[in-house]
Structure formats: C-alpha cells, structure tokens
C-alpha cells in the first residue's frame, strides 16, 4: 500500500511539473508577437547569409539571396552553401526558391542571359524558348542575347 501511494504521489508530482514546464515554455515562445518573431527570423537569416557570403560559401543568383540553400544543405545551416550563381552560369538549375524568384523577376539582372537555359535544364529542354520569352518579359534581355 505504501509503495502504491509513493508511486502515485511521484506520478502526480511529475505530471504537475511537466505540465507547468510546458505552460512556461509555451508562454515564453508566445511572449513575442508574430511581428517580433518575424523580425527576429529576418535578422537571424540575414546574419547567417552575411557570414556565409563573407566566407565565400553563399553565392546566390538573386537580387536578395535565397534562404532555401540554408535549409537544404547538410545540418540545416551547419556546412550550408549556396552555389546557385555558379549553377546558373554553368547551365545547371539553381535551387527551387531561386527558380521561382527568377520567374517573378527577382533574379540578378546581370545574370539574366543565363536564366532560361538553367531553368530549362530542370524543367525540360522543350521549354527553353518559352523561358527565353519569359526572361525577355521580366528582364528586358533580347532573345538573341540569351543562351
């Protein structure tokens, strides 16, 4: 009987502590407003990318560097690299975020001659001419000047 009482008491104490700890953790997480959390995220992302650019590990093809490459490479930031600029110039497709941003007109305009070829490498060569026309619309680079 004493052992059952001790076991039940221990379980109750553990449950109360776990519930209280979870409540405190949840309160701390939600202490920042969504806007504050967003600002913190943007600041942290910028800091990570800036450090990797300085180290020569982040070479993006966009006006504003992508964040996808931080997540896709091993360790979610540990050992992360972005080679999208090199990929585009060498006819290989960049990451998915870069493809979308290029299609929206947010690519580095100085690389626009390479975009159609690089995206077609991923999406299919049969779309190469269509992508050239899209890049003309977005970046005003003539069809003839594109690779």
pLDDT tens per residue, range 58-71: 999 999 999 998 88
pLDDT digits (tens, 9 = 90+) for 22-54: 555 555 556 788 999 889 988 988 888 889 889
The stretch 103-122 carries a mean pLDDT of: 97
Query: What is the per-residue pLDDT for 30?
Result: 61
0.85 surpassed by pTM: no
Sequence-ordered alpha helix ranges (H) in the chain = 2-29, 34-54, 68-72, 84-89, 96-104, 112-123, 128-139
78-108 pLDDT tens trace: 677 899 999 999 999 999 999 999 999 999 9
């Amino acid at each position: 009987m004493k052992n059952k009482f001790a076991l039940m008491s221990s379980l109750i104490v553990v449950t109360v502590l776990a519930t209280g700890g979870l409540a405190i953790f949840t309160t701390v997480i939600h202490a920042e407003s969504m806007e504050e959390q967003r600002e913190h995220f943007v600041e942290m992302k910028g800091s990570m990318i800036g450090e990797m650019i300085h180290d020569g590990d982040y070479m993006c093809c966009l006006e504003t560097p992508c964040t996808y490459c931080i997540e896709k490479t091993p360790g979610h930031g540990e050992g992360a690299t972005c080679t999208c600029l090199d990929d585009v110039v060498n006819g290989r497709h960049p990451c998915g975020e870069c493809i979308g941003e290029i299609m929206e007109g947010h690519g580095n305009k100085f690389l626009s001659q390479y975009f159609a070829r690089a995206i077609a490498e991923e999406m299919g060569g049969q779309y190469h001419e269509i992508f050239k026309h899209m890049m003309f619309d977005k970046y005003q680079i003539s069809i003839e000047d594109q690779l």
